[in-house]
A and B are shown apart, each in its own frame.
Chain A
Amino acid sequence: MQKPRFRWHLVVFLAPAVLVYTAVMIFPLFNTLRLALYSKVDQERVFVGLQNFQTLFGDPNWAPAFWNALGNNFWFFIVHMLVQNPIGVALAAILSHPRLRFAALYRSAIFIPTILSFVIVGFAWKLILSPIWGIAPSMLDAVGLKSLFAPWLGKEEYALTTLALISVWQFVGIPMMLIYAALLSIPEEILEAGEIDGVTGISAFWKIKLPLILPSIGIISILTFVGNFNAFDLIYAAQGALAGPDFSTDILGTFMYRTFFGFQLQLGDPHMGSAIAGAMFAIILVGVCIYLFGIQTRMRRYQL
């Protein structure tokens, strides 16, 4: 038999995607990690090894800002995990109820904030929470809670949590949709079998449905993790690059932006910016690995 000819069409089909992806995504990614090992001395690029990372983690000028951003970022993530995902699951559980009327309408309406840009969301909430306009205080007044009002975005102790909650408001639609899809795929027979055994209503949710949708909750958690650790837009739109008040809302994305481009009196430093990108890459990689090898493989999957 004759040896098969070289299949040129394979190359033609694969080349455009592989080229663009490699040139614009993979190559810059590694190039950024490489740049993190250099520094600029007298207008020349010098190899400095891990010194940038040492500066980032230990230098008194850099380390506090870095650990502040990292800590804030973790808090940002925790708020999402504790508020966004439970609300998403709860909404999906209600929506997936059989014969619920207007389900499609609710679903579409609740998803609307997710399609808006961070700029819109950031400014809209900034206006609504603004003490000058007074929508938030007058609404609290209507329910007799006016004393609770504070300029939340302007106070160091509340600003980050407020922004995290705004982000939750925006993205609750995504866990809702994914869980909703998972709940719909549970076969009716399983639920009926549960009913025969007397498991109905709320306990059917906890004992039958929740274990079955755990893999989807895992996916949502890792999506939230990756999304939060590379967030930037909302903070930038609402609080500016300085992530005020007094850096209390600074997360890794805004910290990297400031470092890379410079702000006020500080000059931009691409090498330190790369080092922060390297740290973000490491964090995301660790998170994804924990998910892939620690959670996903151990999770019990039920054959439906």
Chain B
Amino acid sequence: MNQARANPLNKFAMHGALILYTLIALFPVFVILINSFKTRKAIFREPLALPDAESFSMIGYQTVMKQGDFFLYFQNSLIVTVGSLFFVLLFGAMAAFALAEYRFRGNMVMGLYLALGIMIPIRIGTVAILEMMVATGLVNTLWALILVYTAQGLPLAVFILSEFMRQVSDDLKNAGRIDGLSEYTIFFRLVLPLVRPAMATVAVFNMIPIWNDLWFPLILAPAEEVKTLTLGSQVFIGQFVTDWNAVLSALSMAILPVLVLYVIFSRQLIRGITSGAVK
């Protein structure tokens, strides 16, 4: 092997740089988490110390549990995210299959039309979206959010999934056709299982922005019973700015679900990004 690429000094410097940046990336999360378990005095006296027997306190979490309806928010976020992902994947895969599998007039145009939304953020249309949701009575329902996120996720989903569906072997589909399977059966039974990895990639890409979005919950569904976790913690923290225990605990409770999801899905996510699905 080449000497220059295995220089021990270089290696040392590389690890140093990576460790330094990792610390920068994790430090704020770490500080928030450890301080959420401390008494108010300890938070201010020694912000960087780990909670010990003396400074340990759950008072912040107790306030949060008493004052904020975090389970409801969590449930709303979960419904919106899972619902949107379901429709993005189902509708996106169906459209991607139509574009990848059949030749028809307007195929190109349809593909370009659906791809427009990759670059143009849906937020630009907020004024008219709100007007429409008010007119249809969907404002302050979770459906409003699910519809918006479905529309937002579809362009990239169709784009990525159709790339993958072009790689599914024609022989397989034609064998199915000779056996008399309908186009629907071919799609649901033969093609969908084969593009499952791509579907997972699309799901993971969409999951984080939907879960973390503040704009649409704030505008389309600000009512108490449909608040998402992101909006709920924003409002809660806004009300409790001076109660540091409560704020830190609320932040930690908002961080944890995402962190858990990330630990579960990070391999999928990183594989998705690095497999070049977004090139």
Contacts and interface: CB of A to CB of B under 8 A. Distances in A.
Do A and B come together as binding partners? yes
A108 B18 CA distance: 12
B266 A7 contact: no
A55 interface: no
Contacts of B215: 232-233, 253
B226 interface: no
B212 A24 contact: no
Given A106-B18, A226-B121, A13 B212 contact: no
B214 A233 contact: yes
Interface residues of B, number: 97
Interface string A163-188: 00000010010000110110011000
A209 interface: no
Interface string B135-166: 00000000000011011101100100000000
Interface residues of A, number: 90
Contacts of B255: 116, 120
Contacts of B102: 7, 10
B26 A18 contact: no
Contacts of B95: 13-14, 16-18
A145 interface: no
A74 interface: no
Given A10-B102, A112-B259, A270 B114 contact: no
Interface string A2-26: 0000010110111011101101111
B21 A110 contact: yes
Main secondary structure of the interface of A (DSSP, over half): helix
B230 A119 contact: yes
A32 B31 contact: no
B39 to A, nearest CB: 14
B253 to A, nearest CB: 10
A49 B64 CA distance: 50
28 contacts: A9-B184, A12-B184, A17-B92, A18-B95, A20-B87, A20-B91, A21-B154, A24-B122, A25-B125, A29-B125, A32-B124, A102-B18, A106-B18, A109-B22, A111-B266, A112-B29, A115-B208, A117-B211, A119-B214, A119-B254, A124-B31, A124-B251, A135-B48, A177-B270, A184-B274, A233-B212, A260-B127, A284-B121
5 interchain residue pairs of minimum CB distance: A28-B125, A117-B212, A31-B128, A17-B95, A28-B128
